[in-house]
Structure 1
Amino acid sequence: MTTPPPSAAANRARRPTWRDPRLALGVLLVAVCGLLGAKLLGDADNTIEVWALRHEVGPGEPLGGAALTTARVRFTSAEQADRYLATSQSLPSGLSSTRALMAGELLPRAALSDTGGASLVELPLTVPATGVPETVKVGSRVDVWATRKGTTRAERLLADVPVVALSSTGSGLSPSVERQVIVGLEQDQATGIGEIVGALSDATILLTRQAAQ
């Protein structure tokens, strides 16, 4: 009777040890994922909820709840965050905008005016096309200068007033000689509107704008 050959010893899987590079790599991946998750949560906690525009708002228009929504933003510094109005601060009554604000724009403190709900008085101006800087648009703040007939000296009649509306320059084939510009006056400025209109009646008007640095 033939004796069967001995069976080969079974290879048992060895338990991974700390020296196993696969185990070390797995531990490293878990640690990296944990750090990334902690950083994302930390960044989320650093966001600040501020007011933003729900729709476009023109100069002098009131800024009530219907015009505003909220947005969470992570600012790089406290100084940058202070430029905008946080939702933790209550909105003053009669708040209005001093310039045009676009839909989705964060609500800047510099563009706010607490006028008690008073609206701007619109003053139409007929200005030579060459007297309107190309950078002037709705929402720009301008100075209004007038040079009366028979004189060569210009007088500044209005300072830092917002442009409420602005006509186009016309087509390239038939450019406009004059442009219609409507500026907004605060209530204290509007008290002298009669003198302003009289001074503008026989004068050539020029607009100037302080360009951003």
Structure 2
Amino acid sequence: MTVTTAPGGARLKKPSWRDPRLLVGILLVLASVAGVVSLVAAADQTTEAFAASQPIAVGEQLTPDKLHRVKVRLGDVEQHYLTPASGADYGLVAVQRIGKDQLLPRESLGTVDKLDRKPVAVTIDEALPPQAVAGSRVDVWVALPDNRNGFSEPTLLLRGAEIAQLTPGSSALGAQRSTVVMVLVPDGQMPKLLGAQANKAKISVVWNPGGDT
């Protein structure tokens, strides 16, 4: 009995490195791997920056213990923030309040002579709402003493003044507890507030949710 091969029958051939289809497949795999590597590298372009390890109030000096390092993606705005690569300008003071764990914009730091607002302690007996915290805004009202051992009608002295710090004041036994509010006062308004304090005026602080607008 004789076995014959059908006409046109194809025999399987062993793949060769010279096969164009195999080379194209290898190139596609390499291109895909390179694309994934590039994407991961682009997504991981982080840099070290300084963040505040505690709140830094306006006028407070920048020191090493107030900073810690974090890894962030800053991209094109890196030059606007304080980083270990550029160095920390210790000795400068905060001209804007910096919250805990916030990055340090360079514009938030400056020299003492650049401060156009300075903290003034105002002692109040009335309670402030919980929203009135360091960094929030308040209005400062002043009522000057009159000739009848009372006070004149209150007038608005400062609108939207920023709170630098809140400190519970001392109180006698059974007396109402006071609060010392450190208010940031512009240089132009400083004489009026200090004059009101010197004249034993009644000073009230009212939380202003709208800010300085």
Normalised to the residue count of structure 2, the TM-score between the two structures is: 0.59
Contact 2:136 2:211 in 1 (8 A): no
SS of residue paired to 1:70: strand
CA 1:162–1:111 in structure 2 vs 1: closer, same or farther (change >3 Å)?
farther
Q: Does 1:36 align with 2:36?
A: yes
Give the match for residue 145 of structure 1. Answer: 141
Q: Does 1:156 align with 2:154?
A: no
Aligned residues: 183
The partner residue of 1:135 within 119, 131, 136 is 131
1:161 CA displacement: 3.9
Give the match for residue 81 of structure 2. Answer: 84
Contact 1:99 1:162 in 2 (8 A): no
Give the match for residue 54 of structure 2. Answer: 56
1:15 CA displacement: 1.5
Cα RMSD (Å) of the superposition? Answer: 4.3
1:186 CA displacement: 7.0
Note the 1:1-213 alignment, pairs <5 A.
14-15=14-15, 17-19=19-21, 27-45=27-45, 47-53=46-52, 55-59=53-57, 60-75=59-74, 78=77, 81=78, 83-97=80-94, 98-102=96-100, 104-115=101-112, 123-126=121-124, 128-129=126-127, 132=128, 134-148=130-144, 150-157=151-158, 160-165=161-166, 180-184=179-183, 192=191, 194-198=194-198, 201-208=201-208, 210-211=210-211
| Paired residue type of 2:63 | G
Contact 1:144 1:208 in 2 (8 A): no
Contact 2:98 2:104 in 1 (8 A): no
CA 1:105–1:185 in structure 2 vs 1: closer, same or farther (change >3 Å)?
closer
| Paired residue type of 2:133 | K
SS of residue paired to 1:139: coil
Deviations 1:100-147 (A, max 9, x none): 520x3211345334217x9x6551421533xx4553212334442224
Contact 2:160 2:212 in 1 (8 A): no
Contact 1:95 1:114 in 2 (8 A): yes
Contact 2:93 2:112 in 1 (8 A): yes
Paired with 2:72 and 2:51, the residues of 1 have a C-alpha distance of 11
| Paired residue type of 1:38 | S
CA 1:101–1:204 in structure 2 vs 1: closer, same or farther (change >3 Å)?
closer
Deviations 1:145-181 (A, max 9, x none): 22445544423158634331155xxxxxxxxx98624
